[in-house]
Amino acid sequence: MFSLKKILWLLFFFLNVAPVSADPNFWKYEWPKTDFSKSSVEFIEILSGGPPKDGIPAIDHPQFIEMNKLSGLNEREGVITVEWAGEVRVYPLRILMWHEIVNDTIGGVPVSVTYCPLCNSAIVFERKLLDGRVLDFGTTGKLRNSDLVMYDRQTETWWQQFTGQAIVGELLGTALSIIPSRLESWAAFKERHQSALVLIPSDPKARQYGRNPYVGYAKSARPFLYGGEMPKGIAPMAPVLVVGNKAWAIEYVKAQKTIQADGLTITWKSGQASALEGKTVFQGSDLGNVTVQKNGHDVAYHLSFAFAYHAFYPNGEIIK
């Protein structure tokens, strides 16, 4: 019997030796509302990740519990934390691993909390556009550069999670605003806050929450469903800190502990497990807790793999 890891690599091998068909005429059966005449990318770059549209179900009606009533989270496991408009909320990776998108409202602001396991990128977007329209997002089942391609349910435009850019459809060229968040350990968050709402599953038995379905992925030699150029001078799966279009290797940040650059203060502290290594989200090696601030205020960042940063910023430098 094949393990999930072996199945992933078999799929990767097949899709990299066999011709890949990227035909919008075929996609229209599943996506009748998407305007495929508008695109900023080559369709050949977009691959099926396996699941169909909404096969990985976004959470549209999130349920929360006060943190002092919560049990079951390991001190080392990663959580996405958001402090916005006077509210503080926590989104455990053990849940985002299986759903990838949470459509929520924080302090009256509509947001989408997103996580792409194949890139390890956790990014929070504002769902309200400049023209006042509020979108909610789901998963297309498609990948580009191994990164989650989202869609909005209002226009069925396709969006790149790594950049927040609309890449196919009516809203082509529109960019979502990014809200600062942290990817940190549960213990690190509790050091800063005694009160917050924590996301819980609506049905705890619906998924194997806490288990890592991508065992060994973060330590693999190369990414899944990615045929692009690899970064030079750094392993493709090496973790990097991405701030805007700049990046620092986490090993470099870890060695420096504190970095002053471009008006930013970047710090590293031990304690967060890499969620994509062991059988559970808290058994991996120490990824650490990173903060990025400017004038004492959090700046939006995400931790990703080097190959993904290079794919989306091919001219960018990873400081290492």
For 85-140, how does the pLDDT look when each residue is reduced to its tens digit (9 = 90+)?
A: 889 999 999 999 999 999 999 999 999 999 999 999 999 999 999 999 999 999 99
C-alpha to C-alpha distance for 63 and 198, rounded to whole angstroms? 8
DSSP 318: E
For residue 206, being part of any structural domain is answered with: no
For residue 92, being part of any structural domain is answered with: yes
For residue 217, being part of any structural domain is answered with: no
pLDDT of res. 22: 62
The structure's pTM equals 0.92
For residue 123, being part of any structural domain is answered with: yes
For residue 163, being part of any structural domain is answered with: yes
Section 24-51 average pLDDT: 93
Section 182-188 average pLDDT: 98
Q: For residue 62, what are the domain limits?
A: 4-179
- Say what percent of the chain tops pLDDT 90: 89
For residue 24, being part of any structural domain is answered with: yes
Q: How many domains does the chain have?
A: 1
pLDDT of res. 10: 44
Buried-exposed string 39-69: b where 16+ CB fall within 10 A, e elsewhere: bebeeebbbbbeeeeeebebbeebeeeebee
The residue to which tokens 């503080």 are assigned: 88
* Residues contacting residue 23 through CB under 8 Å, at least 6 positions apart: 43
For residue 8, being part of any structural domain is answered with: yes
Residue 18 has pLDDT above 60, yes or no: no
Question: How far, in Å, are 68, 144, 190 from residue 166 at the CA level?
Answer: 39, 13, 36
C-alpha to C-alpha distance for 9 and 215, rounded to whole angstroms? 12
199-229 pLDDT, tens digit per residue, is 999 999 999 999 999 999 999 999 998 999 9
pLDDT of res. 15: 42
For residue 144, being part of any structural domain is answered with: yes
C-alpha to C-alpha distance for 200 and 78, rounded to whole angstroms? 14
